[in-house]
Structure 1
Amino acid sequence: MVFLLILALLSIVIITFIGPIVVPPFSFPRNIPTIPFYVSFLGLDQLQLYEKYLREKLEKYGAVKIYFASRWNILVSKPEYLVHIFKNEDIFAKSGNHIKIPKSVLATYTGDNIISAHGDLWRLYRDVVAQSIQFPDLVPIEKNTRDFLKSLEKELQKGPSIFVNDLLQLYSLANVGDCIVGANLTPMHQKIKYIKSQIFKPFFMNFPSVEMFPIPSRIKAKKEVEAFRSWYGEKIKNSTRGAAANLSAALSNGKLTQKQYLDNSIILMVAGHENPLLLMLSLLYVLAKNSCIQEKVRKEGDPYLSAVVYETLRMYPPLNQIINRCTTQATILGNIYIPKGVYVGYYNMGTGRDANFWESANEFKPERWGSTSEEISANYSKAKRMGTLPAFHGRKRACLGEKFALYECKMFVQAVLGKYKISLDDTWKERITPAGPICPVNMKLRFSNL
């Protein structure tokens, strides 16, 4: 009798707590495959994970069921499906971390902002900051690039090979601060690095619902995040230019609450420097692996450099798995029935490497974009319009900082290749990030003067 009671209790525990993790809800579509719940915990980098568990299923079905952030989601890669999602913003509504994982450290950090908000709130935030993001002051990038080269030269006095992440993060922070935010952000470098180290813990990224419990380390992390947000908000509040000035004015006249001011101030800094940083790291990676492409960039400049950037976006999209939309009603995506209240996301690497839409999909071939400026630009616009290159998302929710990011990255590459040949350091083990953002992990490069 005791054994049967224990067995019954064990069964209840499994059904109640473990079952929902291992098996998708019965309401989820049956005509797309399920990715085993444990794949996110295997420690594979994203390319390894894609090749081993996702490529075959995504290329055949265009969507899969996947467990992430304490829930089952539908992850989409088929361009036709992506275009449908982008067109139907009211059905596939933006629903950020503040709604999806409200008690998490990450949600505490980024809050409700222009990227994650929906409807009237999104329009409010856009009215305040969109102009500063879409039409940034690009002039400071030239000086910041010169300063970066000086810092790089100083580092190289210690030896020909260096880890580049810190230098690049400082450069990216300088650019977003000077061009968009309207404040000097480089003194915040170490604080930002520390906050990132507290937020991006693999276990808590996969199980953020655990953070609703009084775990001492996560309570401490939330307090540190809240303190940084307040400190950062005060630091930029007196700015007289850029998005910071617009946000401060909106706070003063009651258009934004204090929390909305902080949420949007933080996301401009985070997205404005992290995403270009990821792309610049990946650009250095592919260029270091391909000396012939380096030489061609030096000889041809634009338009070939544009083709290299677009090809890098295709194969190494800065943000890979993005799950931040939730269905507001039951709907059909292609032949997939999706119930109301289901989170739907994109898998950008899967779209960019899908052999159904890209010839020689695993080969880095900038030439596929064309040979003239007009042809390359037209093919890039077409790829975005058709959903085959969703790195900057799409339609009315497309990334507002696209122009800024592309300009910054091209100027950076031209400056570096104009002075150095670059190669991967022999001691560095090639590996890309294991989740979310895509870039080489702690990359070490060798620089040789031209």
Structure 2
Amino acid sequence: MLLFEIILVLLFATIGYFVLTTVFPPLNFPRSIPTVPFYVSLLPVLTSVDQEEIYNKYLREKLEKYGAVKLYFASRWNILVTRPEYLQTIFKNEELFAKSGNQKKTPYSVLADYTGDNVISSHGKEWKLYRSIMTQSIQFPQLEPVLKNTEKFTESIRKEVGNKDKALNVSDKIQRFCLENICECVLGIKPDAIASEAGELHERIKFVKKQIFNPIYLNFPILDRLPIPSRLDARKEVHAFRKYFCELVKRNKNEDSHTFAGHKLQRAFETGEITAKQFTDNVIITMVAGHENPQLLLTSLLYVIAKYPVYQTKLREEVQSLGDKSHWSAFQDLPILNSIMYETLRLYPPLGQIINRCTTSRTTMGDSINIPRGTYVGYNNFGTGRDILVWGPDANEFKPGRWGITLEDIQSNFSQAKRTSKLPAFHGRSRACIGEKFALLETKIALAKIVDCFEVSLDKSWKEQLTPAGPICPLLLSLKFKSLRE
């Protein structure tokens, strides 16, 4: 009887501890900023609300007033900031706000198994090593395949819609396009290999994404510790996919393979600079980040030009005024195209919320936000881009003209917004995204080619809604394409 009572007490104590640590932030967390109710993390699981609704109802007022909040996410309490000066504090102090990705934050999760320790999430000497191997290939990729892949992309739309004003869910087509670009231009996989593997590669990635971006496990990765059959299957698929994709990289080297990130990582493994796991982790993250972020951005770009036809018309006129469009550089210096791109990044950053930095010692942010050592600190790109104190009373409106009229002004304002952390979509300082230029270029080319070929409009039957959690873009976007050519 006594043993039973002891077990019962321990059980209730465990449940009580779990409830208390979930409902209330730690006592040593800063009291100068408000707390977002813990159940906000559950809303994508329990309701059909999207990220914009959640932000407007539970986060906007607090973040615009204080610039930071306490938020429960990924099985722990975190500090989340939006104020540009707080973001600059994080970006400037890499040693104090150290990168700490899922491999450290939730090493037991399926997501951590998928991406591992890589050039994005690592810190210190490992990060410097990965960057020395990969940066050149990512910042200066082979760009010729992008035009070819864009032609294939637009042709696949034309074949499907024919001469009809037909609605399409564009998610799969955009994913295939972005996958082909990162595989051919950066990883160095032969085009014919991508073509032959396209179906399997696409379907396997879709399955993995579905498991990883499940709102339940995004918000409560601790559940991955349990022997849940579906999660065990997801973990097996992740391991199998990692092996499959790395073999694809090894077997199908492109011409001049020594210039590509895939070959450089393989050579670093063969010479003992990195381990087999580090090779796999970095190949996978190059593919993941290299296609997912452009995919999300291009989806949002198609959404805004369909929603705001006046800007679509202006963009089409600008594109059609070009002479020769046979080289990728033709799309670099178009003012309207650039302003639409940057305004979309402001309102719909591909990664709306990022929590992957951990304080290495006690610190103070601003005048009064005292943050204990070992606290995860993140930032909400979605909130910063829509903050009326940062962008003015029209912050929630789509206004490409806010970036300027001339190309010089537009690019200057974009650079300043990044430098001052008003636009943190590509992070900042030493940890700024090394794939930024490539992502912007491929999406510019794709958008320009699409408006040149089609009149794009929203499918009236599509429910206008953003994704519920994780990456940001219109959910299951459905568009109508009317061909402008015979």
- Asked if the contact 2:102–2:116 (Cα under 8 Å) also holds between the matched residues in 1, the reply is yes
1:220 deviates by: 1.9
Q: Does 1:342 align with 2:358?
A: no
Q: Which residue of 2 is the match for residue 270 of structure 1?
A: 288
Structure-1 residue corresponding to 2:22:
21
* Structure 2 equivalent of residue 400 of structure 1: 434
Question: Which residue of structure 2 aligns with residue 152 of structure 1?
Answer: 157
The answer as to 2:220 corresponding to 1:202 is no
Instruction: Give runs of aligned pairs for residues 58-207 of structure 1, distance below 5 A.
Output: 58-157=63-162, 160-183=166-189, 184=191, 185=194, 187=198, 188-207=201-220
Q: How far off its partner does 1:24 sit?
A: 0.3
The residue type equivalent to 2:117 in the other structure is D
- Which stretch of the first structure deviates more once superposed, 176-185 or 103-112? 176-185
42-51 vs 149-158, greater mean Cα deviation: 149-158
- Partner deviation per Cα, 1:128-159 (whole Å, 9 max, x = no partner): 11111111111111111111111111111386
Measured after TM superposition, the shift of residue 299 of structure 1 is: 2.1
Stretches (4+) displaced over 3 A: 4-11
Quote the offset at 1:11 in angstroms: 6.1
For 2:291 and 2:14, locate their aligned partners in 1 and report how far apart those are by CA, in whole Å.
Answer: 44
Q: Could you tell me whether the CA contact under 8 Å between 2:297 and 2:345 is conserved in 1? A: yes
Distance 1:40 1:445 in 2: 30
Aligned position for 2:226: 213
- Distance in 1 (alpha carbons) for counterparts of 2:155 and 2:412: 36
Cα distance, 1:213 vs structure 2:
2.4
Secondary structure of the corresponding residue to residue 346 of structure 1: strand
3-state SS of the aligned residue for 2:121? coil
Q: Which amino acid aligns with 1:354?
A: D
Q: Quick one: which amino acid aligns to residue 358 of structure 1?
A: W
CA deviation map 1:202-256 (0-9, x unaligned): 2111111121222222122111111111111111114252111111111111111
Q: How far apart in 1 are the matches of 2:170 and 2:87?
A: 34
Which residue of structure 2 aligns with residue 228 of structure 1? 241
1:366 is the counterpart of 2:384: no
CA distance in 1, matches of 2:349, 2:29: 28
Q: Deviations over 1:183-219 (max 9, x none)?
A: 1546211111112122222211111112122222212
The more displaced of 7-16 and 245-254 is 7-16
Written as runs of structure 1 = structure 2, the 5 A alignment for 1:233-272 is 233-238=246-251, 239-240=253-254, 241=257, 242-272=260-290
The answer for the alignment partner of 2:41 in structure 1 is 40
Query: Could you tell me which residue of structure 1 aligns to residue 306 of structure 2?
Result: 288
Change (3 A) 1:253 1:5: closer
Number of aligned positions between the proteins? 448
Alignment correspondent of 2:445: 411
Is 1:444 the counterpart of 2:485 in the alignment? no
SS in 1 for 2:467: coil
**Further displaced range: 174-183 or 11-20:** 11-20
Distance in 1 (CA, whole Å) between partners of 2:234 and 2:421 is 38
Q: Distance in 2 between matches of 1:447 and 1:309?
A: 20
Q: Which amino acid aligns with 2:214?
A: K
Partner amino acid for 2:379?
A: Y
- Tell me the amino acid that sits aligned with residue 403 of structure 1: K
Letter in 1 for 2:236: K
Q: Secondary structure at the match of 1:113?
A: coil
TM-score normalised per structure 1: 0.97
The one-letter code of the counterpart of 1:177 is C
What pairs with 1:282-321 in structure 2 (closer than 5 Å)?
282-301=300-319, 302-321=334-353
Paired with 1:149 and 1:16, the residues of 2 have a C-alpha distance of 55
Runs (5+) with no aligned partner, structure 2: 320-333
What SS does the corresponding residue of 1:42 show, helix, strand or coil? helix
* Percent of aligned pairs sharing the same letter: 56
The secondary structure found in structure 2 opposite 1:33 is: coil
Relative to 1, partners in 2 of residues 1:140 and 1:5: Cα closer, same or farther, differing over 3 Å?
closer
Please say if residues 149 and 180 of structure 2, whose CA atoms lie closer than 8 Å, have aligned partners that are also in contact. Answer: yes
Shift of 1:436: 1.6
Q: Provide the C-alpha distance between the structure 2 equivalents of 1:177 and 1:8, rounded to a whole number of angstroms.
A: 56
> Secondary structure of 1:204's match?
helix
Distance 2:148 2:246 in 1: 26
Q: Distance in 2 between matches of 1:14 and 1:224?
A: 32
Deviation at 1:8, TM superposition (A): 6.9
Could you list the runs of 5+ residues in structure 1 that have no partner in the other structure? none
Instruction: Report the 3-state secondary structure (helix = DSSP H, G, I; strand = E; otherwise coil) of the residue aligned with 2:351.
Output: coil
Alignment partners' CA distance in 2, 1:200 and 1:259: 23
Q: 2:89 is aligned with what amino acid? A: H
What is the identity, as a one-letter code, of the residue corresponding to 2:390? F
**What SS is found at the alignment partner of 1:237?**
helix
**Partner amino acid, structure 1, of 2:457:** S
CA distance in 2, matches of 1:381, 1:173: 28
